[in-house]
Amino acid sequence: MKTSSFLFGLVLAVAVICVLLLTFGVSFRGTGPVKYNAATETTLSGIVESSQDFACPVSDGEIGSHLKIRTPSGIIQVHLAPARIMRAHDLRFLGGDKVQVVGSKVRYKGNDDVIAREITRGTDFYAIRDSNGKLLLVQY
């Protein structure tokens, strides 16, 4: 009888703790999606060092396309768009490409990154998002 009382008490205590954590908004997931913020918009120019696709909160956990750009102040990671959208538009950036990026500065994994709104490469201009951060991905 004592063992069953102990187990019942333990289960009850765990349930109460879970309810309290959920009540006070504790999240068991990551920090959630990183959002575009027009108030932190910046322009940077540089040379593409590399491109990578990986799961990212900017793409709501979907596989997103990213660039590492060498700027005068160092290497900056730029979040583009979900990789499937980049592939659908046959949009690729290669190492050595000179680009200018307009986007929102965000904090991601302890680094200052940029979520791209517009990218210019030579005479090519790509609108990735509107001024509110909603995906557009239109080529002019």
Asked whether 20 and 12 are in contact (CB, 8 A), the reply is no
Do 5 and 64 have their domain in common? no
Do 64 and 12 have their domain in common? no
Q: What is the largest CA-CA distance in the chain?
A: 80
Do 20 and 87 have their domain in common? no
Do 55 and 72 have their domain in common? yes
Q: Nearest 5°: CA angle at 94, between 88 and 95?
A: 155
Asked whether 61 and 71 are in contact (CB, 8 A), the reply is no
CATH number for position 121:
2.40.50.140
Do 11 and 64 have their domain in common? no
Question: 11 is in which domain, residue-wise?
Answer: 1-30
Do 8 and 72 have their domain in common? no
Asked whether 130 and 115 are in contact (CB, 8 A), the reply is no
pLDDT at site 6? 65
Question: Tens digit of pLDDT for each residue in 3-32?
Answer: 667 666 666 665 556 544 555 544 444 445
Say what the pTM is.
Answer: 0.74
Do 110 and 51 have their domain in common? yes
In sequence order, what are the residues at sequence separation of 6 or more whose Cβ sits closer than 8 angstroms to the Cβ of residue 20? none
Mean pLDDT of 39-65: 91
pLDDT at site 59? 76
Do 48 and 24 have their domain in common? no
Do 50 and 14 have their domain in common? no
Question: Tens digit of pLDDT for each residue in 74-96?
Answer: 999 999 999 999 999 999 999 99
Do 59 and 23 have their domain in common? no
Question: Tens digit of pLDDT for each residue in 36-50?
Answer: 999 999 999 999 999
Both tokens assigned to 121: 């490469």
Do 56 and 24 have their domain in common? no
Both tokens assigned to 17: 């703790």
Match 């201009």 to its residue by tokens.
Answer: 125
pLDDT at site 15? 59
Do 49 and 71 have their domain in common? yes
Judge whether residue 125 has pLDDT over 70: yes
pLDDT at site 61? 75
Exposure of 89 by Cβ count < 10 A (0-12 exposed, 13-18 middle, 19+ buried)?
A: middle
- Domain total of the chain: 2
